[in-house]
A and B are shown apart, each in its own frame.
Chain A
Amino acid sequence: MESTFALGWIDYTIMGIYFAFVLGIGWALKKYMRSSADFLTGGKSIPAWITGLAFISTNLGALEVMGMAASGAKYGMITTHFYWIGAIPAMIFLGLFMMPFYYGSRARSVPEYLKLRFDEKTRGFNAVSFAVMTIFASGISMYALAMLMETLLGWNFAWSICISAAIVLLYTYLGGLKSAIYNEVLQFFLIVIGFLPLVILGLISVGGWEGLTLRLTDVATSHGYAPGAWTETWRPVANAADNPMGIEWFGVVMGLGFVLSFGYWCTNFLVVQRAMAAGSMTAARKTPLIGAFPKMFIPFLVILPGMIAIALTSDPGSGFSLPVKGNSYDYDKVIPMMLGHYFPTGLLGLGLTALMASFMSGMAGNVTAFNTVWTYDIYQSYINPAKSDTHYLRMGQMATVFGIIVSIGAAYMAKLFNNIMDFLQLIFAFINAPLFATFLLGMFSRRTTGHGAFFGLLTGTLAAALHHGLTKPFSAVSLIKGGWLGTVVHFYPSEMAQNFWTAIFAFTACFTTTILISLFTKQTRSPEELTGLVYSLTPRITDSRVSRVNRPQFLAIVVALIAVVLTVIFW
């Protein structure tokens, strides 16, 4: 393995130049950081194309890139459901229907919206769980990157962590959210240009899409799935037994498409924060819609390498094969293994820099979301209210520093107890799954009450935990994968199928409980207080001053059309 990854001076030079530019952007923005709003909310002045690219770039972290490639190898084209039926409809919904309430309200964060719309306890629950989650998310991705650098390049684990953390810390400390967003745009282009040659070389070597289809048909039939299991998107999910994910269309549409994707894209402050930093209401609404254009094509960048990798692995003459871990392939190694297989020195440096860029865009997203929620929703609300703005600016900067220090701790924790990380991710999945129901009812019904929202969330979280405790994927070896309540009521063919159904149960429980409790409790918010927060009490936005082509509705239609065409092509 060492020989595949021999880096030369040129590779290190490329990395060095990238680091210099990232830090330079932070440095150039330093002098504009005068108030807490400049630092934590970007001063609401950024054009839509920049926030739009940052919107998807912050989600394109190293774990996402490696995870999507892994899923591409494991499940094939079905993974595109995370994009074409998952992210895209959710991003359209966010831009057209939800953004007016986020951007139009006085809220500076998603938890703050919950406070204005419902009450203090709902905000507190969301703020604290979100803050903890972002810290662990950046810790986990730091751990993953450092492990990769250690095994592939022989870099020291501690040094990899410290250097990557120090760079992210420097540029977010200097330029705040704006620096993170600007760098995310640069990182986005770097990720695209760094991985594109991989896809092109991979496709050439398997004989184009036809060659790939041919090889993957063999893979699929040899496992007893439908011939198109790896290369088609909807035909294999007509029947759960036809595809390696073991999921049927209802689970895909409801679990992934509706609950999980809307929950993530519409309520996660990590991405919503990018749109809220836009310069105007129209720009904020266009942010997810502009982001949706490149988002639709990202599957070709991150899922295809996984499919190519499994096709090459199944061919003994190809000279490439995925490493084995336990009784299956080590799917997470797809991207690094492919980089090492195809890229000569020079381009290899660029590919590894792209991987680091994706890590940094994800981590900076977590850090900037954390410091805003910490400063406004926890520190200013519960610990030290009514101080000067300079005080909160300082606190935001301090939060950036200790947020990163605690994530380094989390990275080491992940190194020591791998299961703790799985466990935490599980808990957060429980907390997040029902959240979209709360927002849906809060934004579109004025009748929903604070008690309803809070106890609905709690019940949804509990329902998710209960479902997970009573079911199990077939391959589960540890209790973290499910079935920890002793009796197993149902077995799922894959973890993914279990996740989708956990989300469906959590959403339904939260939705019904919120309605029931709202019916029996009194609305404490007056109609005046709810103006700008609830659909029926907010004046419609008229885009008459904006030219037709620049309206969010027009963009949404174009996005939806392209998504439909892609879906039909790969049906």
Chain B
Amino acid sequence: MEVDIRFPIGGMFSILGLLLLVFGLITGNDPEMYDRSLELNVNLWTGGAMIIFGGLMLFFSFRALRRKST
């Protein structure tokens, strides 16, 4: 594989996840904003899930890279 697709996937999900997580933290006190999502801070939760997924993808791609070089 010339390009490991797990690297860009991991990168994109980590960046987007971080963005949503921080946005969720900032807006967490806004009472009206999360009315529609049943009082759940969905930005925070989805952001967190995306960071975990993105991190896993990055981990696998780095591990593959290290294996190839040794």
Contacts and interface: CB of A to CB of B under 8 A. Distances in A.
A24 B46 CA distance: 24
B3 A346 contact: no
B65 interface: no
A24 B7 CA distance: 12
A344 B46 contact: no
A346 B16 CA distance: 10
Nearest to A182: B5
Contact of B5 (A32, A186, A342): A186
Contacts of A186: 5, 8-9, 12
Given A193-B53, A344-B43, A350-B20, A50 B36 contact: no
Contacts of A341: 36
A347 B17 CA distance: 10
Interface string B1-42: 111010011011101100110011001000001101110101
B24 to A, nearest CB: 7
Contacts of B23: 10, 346
Contact of B33 (A13, A50, A182, A345): A345
Contact of B37 (A10, A24, A50, A344): A344
Contacts of A45: 1
Contact of B42 (A24, A25, A343): A343
B3 A29 contact: yes
A469 B32 CA distance: 55
The B interface, classified by DSSP as helix, strand, loop or mixed, is helix
A496 interface: no
Contacts of B20: 10, 14, 346-347, 350
A21 interface: yes
A201 B1 contact: no
Interface residues of A, number: 32
Classify the interface of chain A: helix, strand, loop or mixed.
helix
Interface string A174-193: 00000000100110010001
A501 interface: no
Given A185-B5, A186-B5, A193 B42 contact: no
Interface string A35-64: 000000000011100100000000000000
B1 to A, nearest CB: 7
A13 B19 contact: yes
Contact of B2 (A32, A205, A344): A32
Interface in B32-64: 33-34, 36-38, 40, 42-43, 45-46, 49-50, 53
A17 B15 CA distance: 8
Give the interface size bracket for B toward A.
20 to 34
Contacts of A342: 36-38
Interface in A182-219: 182, 185-186, 189, 193, 197, 201, 204-205
User: Which of B5, B13, B36 gathers the greatest number of chain A CB atoms within 10 Å?
Assistant: B5
B12 A17 contact: yes
A346 B50 contact: no
Contacts of A193: 13, 46, 49-50, 53
A83 interface: no
A557 B23 CA distance: 45
A347 B46 contact: yes
A21 B15 CA distance: 11
B35 to A, nearest CB: 8
Given A47-B1, A185-B5, A189-B53, A344 B16 contact: no
B60 to A, nearest CB: 11
A197 B38 CA distance: 12
A47 to B, nearest CB: 7
Contact of A189 (B9, B36, B40): B9
Given A47-B1, A201-B38, A343-B37, A25 B8 contact: yes
A342 B38 CA distance: 8
A350 B9 contact: no
Nearest to B30: A344
Interface of B: 1-3, 5, 8-9, 11-13, 15-16, 19-20, 23-24, 27, 33-34, 36-38, 40, 42-43, 45-46, 49-50, 53
Interface of A: 10, 13-14, 17-18, 21, 24-25, 28-29, 32, 45-47, 50, 182, 185-186, 189, 193, 197, 201, 204-205, 341-347, 350
Given A28-B3, A201-B42, A343-B37, 17 more contacts: A17-B15, A18-B16, A25-B3, A25-B5, A29-B2, A47-B1, A182-B3, A185-B9, A186-B12, A189-B9, A197-B37, A201-B37, A204-B38, A343-B36, A346-B20, A347-B42, A347-B46
